[in-house]
Amino acid sequence: MRRQNLAPALVVLAACFAVPETASARIKLITLPVRERVEIQLDNPNATLVEEERIVPLVKGVNQVDFSWANTQIDPDTILFRVLPRPDGEADAMDVKVLSVSYPPNENALVWQVAASGSGSARVRISYLLGNLTKSFNYRAVADHDENTLVLSQYIRLQNFANEEFGSTGLWAGFGTRFLKAVGINETKQMLMEKYEKVPVKKTYTAAAQEYGYLDRPKNKLTVPMHYVLKNDKANRLGQAPLQFGKVRIFQDDGRGSTAFIGEDWGKFTPLDDEMQLYVGTAQDVVVVRTIDKNETKRIAGNMYNREVIVKFEIENFKDRAVTLDVAENVRAIRDELASNLGRDVEWVLGPETTFPGGLDKARSTFDKIVLHVDLDARGADGTAKKVVHKLHVIIKNEW
């Protein structure tokens, strides 16, 4: 009789001094202990750790504990076998030691030699990394009617294509709620991990020619995307753990007791104290026209010169409420737009003709990116918008 394909199965071969420790000894199946406890840890993005405990009957002498699997992506190099101590207050009935481990040829199996000082049961823990048992995260965000706060629900989705089923199993993603669920073969489970109420949200409007492009290029009209920005800290009712990468479906309270779907975006992995930015559409009622108002070069020495550029922005807000517009420009891209792609870093300073109030946003600007802000009043009662004109003056230095 050959050993059955079990995925994974644990069998114990009785101690028998008359039978040599060969494959022939492995056919004497005594019992198939069921799992007493299973834990699946999903905290590693590239591997799933499974820990299972079983009660194994042993006889006095040397026992062979056979662990086999079929059509299951267990990494054999990660399998660990441990004999657990008895609970506190319960005396050890026998001494149990693992002597060695062997790999039967051409089989998905391991055999441990286990010595027992007497006959009885021992609790063992077997852990291994398992493939095709994966997790992902997704979110549901529901903003209030005024878009000042939202409810953020975080879900974990478990997909089991490992060709193995688990009964009552502990599931943990490394943070948040621990679940006790049965996991069937080819089963997908989605579970609510956390629900964050009244999370403050900031709605932003951004004009960035190099990043988002033009809504109408012949008219130099920029695309103005809108985003919800959440900060992952306790002051903003989050901050319990990093927010995992995942799809976010976004809704808004319509003010009539229901919600309206306004879009979806992929939320980036967001560490503590960082921000998650979610795209919620393009603003049609914030109009930004971008033109180059000045482009002059001034020789310094030899073939080296400075380039002086003024970018003009004509801005109108047709919304019925005031908004703040973020304006971003990449200095390298400005240089490439007006000259050629030189493939090198830029040295620049902000010129005196810059008119944006407050000047450079130093916290968000970088060595080649300029970020500025302008507050826009709501449209008038007659529906007209006041046109605001601002200029960005930048001097690109030491070009050749």
Same domain, 19 and 126: yes
DSSP state of 8: T
- pLDDT of 71 reads 86
Same domain, 105 and 143: no
Q: Is residue 203 assigned to a domain? A: no
CA distance 389 to 360: 17
10-45 pLDDT tens trace: 776 665 443 444 333 343 333 457 899 999 999 988
Question: Is pLDDT of 303 > 70?
Answer: yes
Same domain, 15 and 125: yes
355: region left, alpha or beta (phi > 0 left; psi from -120 to 50 alpha): alpha
Tokens of 20: 């040599």
Question: Is pLDDT of 373 > 80?
Answer: yes
Same domain, 32 and 80: yes
Q: Is residue 142 assigned to a domain? A: yes
Same domain, 88 and 176: no
Q: In what order do the strands lie in the sheet with 120-130?
A: 80-83, 120-130, 48-58, 35-41, 166-172, 179-183
Q: Is residue 177 assigned to a domain? A: yes
Q: Report residue 7's pLDDT band, with 50, 70 and 90 as the boundaries.
A: low
Same domain, 393 and 295: yes
- pLDDT of 88 reads 63
Tokens of 38: 């299973």
CA distance 283 to 272: 30
Q: Report residue 2's pLDDT band, with 50, 70 and 90 as the boundaries.
A: very low
Q: Is residue 332 assigned to a domain? A: yes
**Rg of the Cα trace of the chain?**
32
Q: Is residue 249 assigned to a domain? A: no
Tokens of 90: 């319960």
- pLDDT of 28 reads 34
Same domain, 178 and 290: no
| CA atoms within 13 A of residue 267's CA, in its CB half-sphere | 31
Q: Is residue 227 assigned to a domain? A: no
C-alpha closest to that of 279 among 324, 232, 210, 226: 226
Q: Is residue 229 assigned to a domain? A: no
Task: Please say which residue of 149, 171, 194 terminates a domain.
Answer: 194
Residue whose token pair is 């080819």: 186
56-104 pLDDT tens trace: 999 999 999 999 888 898 999 999 999 998 776 566 668 999 999 999 9
Tokens of 200: 């403050």
Report the predicted TM-score, pTM, of the whole model to 2 decimal places.
0.85
Same domain, 339 and 318: yes
Tokens of 6: 């079990």
Same domain, 149 and 40: no
Contact 79, 125 (CB under 8 A): no
- pLDDT of 186 reads 95
Tell me the residue range of the domain where 70 lies. Answer: 9-130
Q: Report residue 198's pLDDT band, with 50, 70 and 90 as the boundaries.
A: very high
Task: Please say which residue of 164, 194, 224 terminates a domain.
Answer: 194
- pLDDT of 19 reads 40
Same domain, 67 and 149: no
164-181 pLDDT tens trace: 999 999 999 999 999 999
Q: Is residue 109 assigned to a domain? A: yes
Mark 164-186 as b/e (b = at least 16 C-beta within 10 Å): bebeebebbbeeeeebebebeee
Same domain, 395 and 291: yes
Number of domains in the chain: 3
Same domain, 120 and 19: yes
Mean pLDDT of 214-221: 98
